[in-house]
């Protein structure tokens, strides 16, 4: 307790520490040092994390900070931080807050003027993206899709024309229906990748168009086990659209005025080199709008 008149201690720091997603060697030297040095570790599941701490010979006390108590119990951790103690926040695996608890505590700590310091490390979505061979300059992370089919499809519809690489987390018992819904909404030709059991014994990264990926998973029950990340290539405007919008559209319009739709589309395709089917679809749309 601070003596009357004595200055209050400076607040402690909240360290947000990433832990491995499988292979324990993936923990960083800095993470181990922080976990050893802090006064308290706020953990998603204390029993789960106790095994990790035991493995690394870390004796720091653990206290529960999970999605059901973090909003209400955050005050306990804040009090310790405000009293000058350092606290580390960890989840069961990977980076806290990424589809894991911690958001409320981090928010409360920042609002209270406490320094929040990330200690980076494993994160399943980043590990999967780094090896997927899909465009990685821009991507979006959608977390877990809704468990119910109708809501899941509705969410997929929302991102159907998203041009950035899409990343999803999925539970193994839903992976097949999830891939089937993706095939139905995005189309079977869209390139995708299933990253399963990353950094573990049965690590598998399989990149295929959605129709083939879904069939491959359906045919092998082993691919429906373990933890998985699904990546889907972003939407691409159909080839030739840019040309269609300028030169080819003018040709198509001229021909449409002179002859039946099918013939106009075929002739326009020959003249412009744009795919006949694409011009046919465009011609139909233009006729409807006329």
Q: Which of 200, 206, 225, 276 binds ligand SAM (CB under 6 A)?
A: 200
* 45 touching ligand SAM, by CB under 6 A: no
CA atoms within 13 A on the CB side of 33: 4
Interaction pattern, residues 99-138, with ligand SAM; x per rule: CB under 6 A: xx----------------------xxx-------------
Find residue 230's DSSP bridge partners: 168, 194
The Cα–Cα gap between 78 and 218 comes to: 48
Residue showing tokens 């406490």:
114
Q: Which of 28, 69, 199, 204 binds ligand SAM (CB under 6 A)?
A: 199
Q: Which of 43, 93, 269, 279 binds ligand SAM (CB under 6 A)?
A: 93
Residue showing tokens 């310091």:
117
Nearer to ligand SAM, 81 or 129 (CB): 129
Q: Which of 169, 213, 269, 280 binds ligand SAM (CB under 6 A)?
A: 169
* 73 touching ligand SAM, by CB under 6 A: no
Q: What is the dihedral of CA 236, 241, 243, 248, to 10 degrees?
A: 160
**Segment contacting ligand SAM by CB under 6 A, of 88-96, 179-187, 232-240, 251-259:** 88-96
* 26 touching ligand SAM, by CB under 6 A: no
* 139 touching ligand SAM, by CB under 6 A: no
Phi, psi of 204 (to 5 degrees): -140, 130
In 2-116, alpha helices (H): 29-37, 46-55, 70-82, 103-111
The Cα–Cα gap between 277 and 218 comes to: 32
Q: Which residues bind ligand SAM (CB under 6 A)?
A: 21-22, 91, 93-95, 98-100, 123-125, 169-171, 195-200, 227-229
């Amino acid at each position: 307790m601070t003596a009357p008149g004595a200055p209050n201690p400076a607040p402690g720091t909240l360290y947000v520490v990433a832990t491995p997603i499988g292979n324990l060697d993936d923990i960083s030297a800095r993470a181990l040092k922080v976990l050893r040095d802090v006064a308290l570790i706020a953990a998603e599941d204390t029993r789960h994390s106790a095994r990790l701490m035991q493995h690394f010979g870390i004796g720091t006390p653990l206290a529960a900070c999970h999605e059901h108590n973090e909003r209400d119990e955050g005050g306990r951790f804040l009090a310790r931080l405000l009293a000058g103690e350092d606290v580390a926040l960890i989840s069961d695996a990977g980076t806290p807050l990424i589809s894991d608890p911690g958001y409320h505590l981090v928010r409360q700590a920042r609002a209270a003027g406490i320094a929040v310091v990330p200690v980076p490390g494993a994160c399943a979505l980043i590990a999967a993206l780094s090896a997927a061979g899909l465009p990685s300059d821009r991507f979006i992370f959608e977390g877990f899709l809704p468990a119910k089919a109708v809501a899941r499809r509705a969410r997929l519809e929302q991102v159907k024309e998203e041009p950035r690489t899409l990343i999803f987390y999925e539970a193994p018992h839903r992976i097949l229906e999830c891939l089937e819904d993706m095939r139905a909404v995005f189309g079977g030709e869209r390139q995708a990748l299933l990253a399963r059991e990353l950094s573990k014994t049965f690590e598998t990264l399989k990149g295929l168009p959605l129709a083939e990926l879904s069939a491959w998973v359906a045919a092998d029950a082993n691919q429906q086990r373990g933890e998985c990340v699904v990546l889907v290539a972003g939407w691409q405007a159909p080839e030739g659209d840019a040309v269609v919008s300028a030169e080819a559209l003018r040709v198509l319009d001229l021909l449409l005025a002179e002859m039946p739709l099918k013939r106009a589309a075929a002739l326009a395709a020959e003249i412009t080199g744009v795919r006949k089917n694409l011009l046919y679809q465009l011609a139909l749309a233009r006729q409807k709008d006329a």
